Structures are given as C-alpha cells and as structure tokens.
A and B are shown apart, each in its own frame.
Chain A
Amino acid sequence: MNINEYFLSAYQSLRSNLLRTLLTMLGIIIGISSVILIIALGQGATASITNELTSFGTNFFSVNAGTFEGGSAFTGSVKTLTLDDVDAILNDPSLTNVESVAPLVMASSVVAANGEDDRLSVIGTTEEYFTILKPKLISGRLLNKDDEVGFSKVALIGVDAVETFYGENFDPVGEVIRVDNRPVRIVGVFENESQLAATFNNALYIPIAIVQKQILGQDHLQEIEVSVYDTDLIDQTITDVEVLLRDRHDIDSEENDDFTVQSFQDALSTLEVVTGLLTTLIAAISGISLLVGGIGIMNIMLVTVTERTKEIGLLKAIGAKQRDILTQFLVESVVLTLAGGVIGILIGTGAAFLIAKIINIPFIVSTSSIVIAVGVSTAVGIIFGIYPARRAARLNPIDALRHE
C-alpha cells in the first residue's frame, strides 16, 4: 500500500468523525499555537528593543561610580570618579579610539517655574555629552564651553518638563526658573526620541560646575560617558579605560574595581541571555501541553482501534500484514497531530500578527519555528500513535472478526 493511500484512508476515517477529530487535535492546536505565538512575540520584542538600543547608539559606554557587588552603583557613595578621570581618559595617548568623554552628576531638585513646582532630575554635564547621546534640540541652543567656564546659570529643559510647567506649545527659551531656589535661565529645549532615554525628557541639563558646587556641593562624579570612533574596537577600548582607571584609583590586581562599565553591547548580550532563558522556559511549558495533547491522541487512537476491531479483522482476512495495519494507524495519528500542528501554526501566526500590531512591535514568525512546530507535531503523532497502532497490528484475526 503506498503512502498516498494511507493518507487518503486516514483522511476518510478522521473526516467521518469530524467533531471528535477536532476535539482530539485541540491539545496539539493549543500547544503549537501558543509556542508559535510566544516565540513570535519574544522575537518581535527583542527586535524592537535591539532597534531601540542601536538607534540610541552602540558607539559609547558608561563608567559608573561603584559596583553592583557593593550595592552602590549609581548611588554616588563611591567618590573616586572625578573630572580628573575624564581628562585622563580624554588625553591618554594610548586611547586612540576614544572620540569624546563627558562627565555626569545627577541631582534631584525642586524646580519652580511659572507658578508651579515639581521635583525633577537635574543633570550636570558638559557640551561633549550632547555629541555622545544626541538629544534632539527643539529650540534654543545646547550647553557650550562658555557656560562651563563662565559658571553660567543656564539650563536645557526636556519637553515633558516644559509641558509640566508651561503647558503645550510654549517656547520657554529665555524664561528664568528656580532650581532649589537658585535662578536659572532656560537656553534650550530638547527631546530624547528613544524610548530608553524618555525619562530624561522630564529633566534639566545644567553645566556641571553649577550642579557640583552649588546644588550638590561635591567634587566626584556619578558617571562618565565615553564615545569611540570604531564600534568594533569598543571592547578593547573598555579594557584600556578599565586599566587606566584602576591605575589611577590605585587598585591592586587582587582588588575589585570601584567602578562599573556598561555598554549597550552588554545590554544586548544580556537581552539575548534573557530571551534564551525565556525561550527554554516556554519550550518546557509547551512541552507539557504537547505531552497532554499526545496522551489525548493516544487515548482516542486506542478507542479507534477498539471501535474498528472488526475492520482490522477483515483487513487481515484479505491479506493485510502487521506492517500494513501498523502503518495505517500510525499515519492516521500523524495526520491527526500534523493537521493540529498546521492549524496551530495558522492560529499562532494570526494571533502574533494581531498582537504585534496592537503593541507595536515587529511581526516576526521565523521559518525555523514553523519547521520545528511541524517536526514536533509529527513526532507527537508517532510517539503517541505507535502503541495503539501496534495493538491494532497484533490483533488476532479471528478475535478481531468475532468482535461485536
């Protein structure tokens, strides 16, 4: 009997009890469609975040004061990172890949303007910062060298902060606001378009000297941003900067760093690790659903074999060998799971398409996940169909013929 006839015969018998066939396939449909859906959404979300990160820039890295182990990263309690470190990184003759270096201090200040007040992040930095992170200038100008040298009490304000104080469609350039009760003049309005930097839209950029001396009263930095010419060489540059800073901070070879370097390359690899873990987890969960689906298939196939005992007897009487009967029932269970798998792929893909549209991420269904889904459904059909099929094949022809 050739394979087409086995498929035709399987199709006819599955069609003859359509409702039962559909209910039996349900476990496989749910299992496969959820795998397809979740993998598609995972890949879409990853692609979306990767795009964000790349658009934000992968040509720079941050040196943060403190370490995660010490629990003090970003808290400012480690005071070893200074403006001298900034100069050293910028001027070290061996660091040829370093393009620009910007210091960063952050304060949380009460800002009052136009009769309103609110607590905002106040970021003290230099003009180099704007060549590295590139916020978009909406109106006015960026901070410049003169502001730094002249201790100018000027500020660049984020679009969200403008809306808080002045409402929409107001150009606040030239207005004077109070930061912790000190008058500061607005010279420009900026907007970060990347979702990752959106919180800075509710912040002020002020020359670093003002923030260090007048607002915080400290000399150390929280962060240094370093941009490079060649992104491919960024790992080497990071290592070189680490060596330089360890040397400058008198850290012995046994001691740990007192700073932490972070790059979007790191973030990207972290993202990949997390996605990988999630995928494994989902695969395990869907494995359980496919196991349950498979047991359902086995159950129904056993019922089918019992129902068709007389038919099996007749087939044996006219010359069907064990192998013929085995193949016929195995093909039937594979057709069942494969059809379930295909329906699952269609439902999963459709759902992924809709959800991706709604939450605005790229719609990605990879060929490999479809190939795997087809492979897995076939495997479930074989694994859970083999026992019922063997039972059918081994029936004694007279017992089968006599069966009522």
Chain B
Amino acid sequence: MPSRADSMSLNASAPLIAILKDPGSARRLSDDNWSELIASARAANLLGLLAVRLRQANIPLPRPPRRHLDAVAQLSERQCQSVRWEIHCLQRALGSLRVPVVLLKGAAYAMSDHPVSHGRLFGDIDILVPREAIGDVELRLMIAGWTSGKSDAYDQRYYRQWMHELPPMVNVRRGTVLDVHHTILPLTSRHAPDARPIIEAARPLDGFTSIRVPRAEHLLIHSIVHLLHDGELPNGLRDLFDIDGLIRAGTRAPDFWQRVEAAATELGLAAPTALGLTLALQLIGSPVPPETIERLHLRAGKASSPLLHWLYRQALRPDNEVERDVGARIARSVIYLRAHWLRMPAHLLARHLLYKSAARLRKTEGSAAGAA
C-alpha cells in the first residue's frame, strides 16, 4: 500500500476487499495503512461491516482506528433500533387493512436479525404491498403521519404512472423516509416481474400480524436486480457485500441454489440474477456454484454480455476511486443510461431526461454551508 493518500492507487478498495474476506491480514497493517483502510471503507459505506469482521476475528486494534470502528458499529446498532421502532409504527398504521406488508432490503435484514444487518447502516425503509392495496396503504399511512415527499406534479405522475413505487413518503414527526413498492421493478421496465410470488411466499414476523420478510432466495434476487437496475451506484460495493452475505447465509440450506434458480425463472429475472451472481463471484469471491450460473443463462436463453461485466467491474468501485478514474466515470454514465433504458421505453426516457435537465437548469445554486 502506498504511504500517503494522494498516491492512493486507483484500486484502493483492493486492500479493503482483501481484509473483509480475510480479517486476519489486518494484523500486519501499519498506522498509515489503517488510515487508508478506514477512509476507503467509509467511502464504500463498508466501515460497519469492517468493524464487525475485525471484531469477530478478534483482531487487536490500535486505539485511533478502533474509535472509528467502534463508533460506526454503535451507530449501526442505533439505526437497527430505529428501524425496529419504525416497523412497529408501520404495523400499527397498516394492521387494520389485513394486507401483507413485506419488508425489503435493510428493513428485512434488520427485522430478521440477518447477518447482513450487522454493522450495516440503514437509509430509507422499503416495503412491498399488493398492487391492489396501494391506495388504502397510502391513505392509512397519511392518517398515521406520513406525507408525500415529492410535491411537484411531474414527480407525482412519474412515480404513479411509470414507477414501481409511490413517491417517497416522509414521516412528519420523525423525518424518516418510507418507500412503498407494489412490485420490485418499474412498471414500464423491460423485465417487469409480478411481485405476487414474493408476497405470497414471505414469512410472517413473530409478534406482527401484517409484517412479513421475503424468503432467502427472494431477498437475494431483489438485492441483485436492485443493484443492476438502479442507475446510481454510490453503494455498489456495499450492495455487493450484501449479496455476498445473503449468499453465505442462504447456502446453509441444502436446496438454496435450486430455489434461487426456480425463483429467478418464475420472476423472469434469470439473466440479471446470473449477472449479479457472476459479479459477486468474480469481484469478491462469493461461493456461487458455476452450474447455477450456467443453468440461469440457459433459462434466460443467452449468456450475459462481456461488455456489461466490464462496465460493472469498473463502476462498482467506491466513489473516491471512481472520481479519479476516467474509465470508471464513463462506465458509471453508461450504467446510468442503461438503467433508465431498462426502466422505460425510449420515447418516455427521452421525455423524462429532457424534463429533468431543464429542471436542473432552472434550479439555482444553494448557498455555502459552514457548520457550527
């Protein structure tokens, strides 16, 4: 590892990935190496996972980096607690509707105490409800204090007519953000899977009548399509480690891979699932059986494109590296366009991007912010 940060190699995440996979190698780090490791873990939003892995491996930590690691682990626990409180509030708000409310991503990991939730930081809460119940759900949420965060008429129509979710809802008292989905990909999208199998198979959570957690294979597939269809990748590497954690926990069940293959096929998501599993295998060494990838390709009717592989390998690096690498920046732009391309047909896409760039021009620059 180079000694000072400005000479930080374009692959600063390589030591981070190496230590996450083999925490024992952290014993050999110098103080300087620790600074870089903490900085790149923070940039990748993986500092909490690093803290957990080092703690589990009983690695003796020098005091200065330990402060950062302990603090982020504590923040993660605190956020987990907030998520649990938020889910109790959702149960109270939506219980009377008697519709299944399926937690997605972070909320699902936190509520099922999945290993992926340990050390993870949480953002918005995502839930999935049957499409026919979406109106009632929105009304109940509004009565309980959630309001629509997007007030602009265009944004409202964008979400309601084209997307797979309501405009983000913000709780007026707690300021927390809730995304209400009725399927897992936009309605206009090229793969627009029916979310019913996910909702029907989700298992109820102890002590909650409405709240459910998706099956392990659905959590994995959703995490993959979310990574591959979301045009912005600030958390790309973190999402890949989520996928890795879901794989490692899932494979404890002997029929896990059969269920993944069946579910991906049923949802019409064999191709993206194959790409996601390949990336996890190649970039961070997740234990994915090659036969599973082959069978998914077979069911998708095509092998995945080497260009896409290359693009994701470039773009999935943390922000601080991408900023200084032209190739990675281009890869991110292409992925952004591709994500929108997948999301809606060309004429809608052109209209949307045109509107958004005009809106950006109208927006005036914010004022300088000095804190405290």
Asked if A and B are interacting partners, one says no
